[in-house]
Structure 1
């Protein structure tokens, strides 16, 4: 009885190991054209750079205006920082 359990576990391990090897091999073959993927990702990121830069400038302008209004208000009320 004990031998049967050990043999069953051994065969399950063998089958599991074989399945994992097949899955790993399939994923390696699926990644065949990695350079094209990297180039595509680079172009996608580059396309977001200009709009992102304009967004950051707009946020900076709004923050600058708010800060300027606060400083002007303190200047008019003669408050010391």
Structure 2
């Protein structure tokens, strides 16, 4: 029975030591993840710009070809670009960066 009590004591001491290291690890992970947000939002802006250029070329070619669904394609591409910019802005404001 004494060995069971010693094992429980040792386990609780080990758990307490790991929880302190765990808190430091969580803080370090939070700091690292927050450092990526600026790069991530800039990447989303760049992707939005590239999609906007590709969409503009696609809409222009459809317009010159006389396709009837030009406005639908233009709205879809414009909407996707706006979505990326809005998501990047919301993420930036949500996490306070």
TM-score by length of 1: 0.60
Which runs of 5 or more residues in structure 1 are unaligned? 1-16
> CA RMSD, aligned part only?
2.7
Residue in structure 1 matching 2:26, options 15, 18, 38: 38
Q: Which has the larger radius of gyration?
A: 1
Q: Distance in 2 between matches of 1:24 and 1:64?
A: 58
Q: Which runs of 5+ in 2 are unaligned?
A: 70-97
- Aligned residue pairs: how many? 65
Once superposed, which parts of structure 1, at least 4 consecutive aligned residues long, lie more than 4 Å away?
20-25
> Which protein has greater RCO, CA pairs closer than 8 Å, 6+ apart?
2
